[in-house]
Amino acid sequence: MTDYWREARDARTDDPNRPGFRISHVETDDGGFLFVPDELLVSGAAADLLPVLQGPEYIELTDTSPGLSATTVRWFSYGGPVPLLDHVAALQADARGAAPAAGVDPDACRVTPHYVMSGEPWIYKGGPFDQVRPAEPWSSGPLPVPLSAPHVAVLDTGIPIETPGGGMARLRVDPEEDVDRLWPPGQDGPSFGAEAGHGAFIAGLVNRMTSSQAGIVALRVLDTDGYGTEVMVVDGLHRLRAAHPTIGVINLSLGTRTDGLAPIGLTEAIEAWPTSTVFVAAAGNCGVTDLPYWPAAIGRVVAVAAIGWNGGSPEPAPFSNTGDWVDLCTDGVSVLSIHSFGRVPIDSASFDLIEGWVRWSGTSFAAPIVAAEIARRMVERNIGAGAALRSLLADLPDASAVSPALRGFGRLYDPRQSVGIDPTSP
């Protein structure tokens, strides 16, 4: 399989003229992380203790981000001689060292790189586990897109111009800004970027799993290569609050590893939402246990792992992250949903033709199945998202009680039993 994500990362690192922001990386034994070169985020507590940030080596960018400006976190570019990650560590140590004398909690003093979120990072699997595979359509064909007030928001790559049935275009919050651009164009139609169609696939899955009962909206916070900065996701949440402040469920099939702690900007942006809104996020596809993946591991976020099925019995998806921070698990192997129309390169001489329907695997696609079930309960029982989530958790068995192999997968949700729909079947 062509490693599109590594190629996209390498191109952005090596070619400053490539569209989109540049990406740097750190490799560690547990996978590492991606970040924007020469940019950092500083918690409000740390910024107050670091007068050096007023110096000529720094340019503050906070005002350029509506979402970040609504938090206490500040955003800077850095032009000094010390390598960014070394400098970030030194700034955080300085702030924490000064905290006790100022009566500030040292743990509140954080300085981080500007993390890059992704649906599919190059060093670990974050969103989809593999590339799309052409597939047969659902037997019912495209489902109608409901015109009701939205219940679920999909913050992802946006929605392409063309999808089966054409109705998905109506889901965009902004008809121009939230388009999945399917970059770059090819001579014989679009040659999909690394993660083109990811948002449409998720929105289509929510639509199918709720039998078109739930309203859906989509915002673009990842580019077609599958990358989005922490600030891009924060700004997406800010735009969503302006458009739909009472939405019930927000699906985030994206994420990152960090230095071990939650990203500060994204955490504040999520915590700013009322508790009546439920966040659902992919647990990530690193295939590891007890190493948190963000935002799924943030306390108020529902973290969803992926399973497959073997002769009617659930079994772990080998790529899925697990741990005591995972809340639920459901289908994430060979899931079927909509995409767009174009081609996916297999190698330099051949390609797969996509005609609107694909199969895809990853925790990215387990998360919206859970988001859809919360929304379905909201509609059918006329209850809020929080009550719907509580009722769902109360109804589900511990996955490890069903199979000892599912230890660390949280509770098991099988949509075949709940709604009679198999997300892997036409």
**What gap in Å lies between CA 50 and CA 172, rounded to an integer?**
41
Contacts of 426 (CB under 8 A, 6+ apart): 135, 136, 137, 138, 139, 336
Of 286, 204, 181, 211, the C-alpha closest to 251 is: 204
**What gap in Å lies between CA 179 and CA 158, rounded to an integer?**
5
Catalytic residue among 48, 156, 180, 331: 156
- Start-to-end Cα distance in the chain: 25
Active site (annotated) includes residue 364: yes
Catalytic residue among 87, 114, 151, 198: 198
Catalytic residue among 337, 340, 361, 364: 364
Q: Is the previous residue joined to 263 through a cis bond, with omega within 30 degrees of 0?
A: no
Active site (annotated) includes residue 65: no
- Residue that has been written with the tokens 């990152």 in this structure: 256
Residue 314 CB-half CA count within 13 A: 27
Active site (annotated) includes residue 198: yes
Q: Is the previous residue joined to 295 through a cis bond, with omega within 30 degrees of 0?
A: yes
Distance of CA 59 to the CA centre of its chain: 29
Type of residue at 410: G
**What gap in Å lies between CA 418 and CA 404, rounded to an integer?**
22
**What gap in Å lies between CA 167 and CA 178, rounded to an integer?**
15
What's the Rg (C-alpha) of the chain?
A: 21
Q: Which residues are catalytic?
A: 156, 198, 364
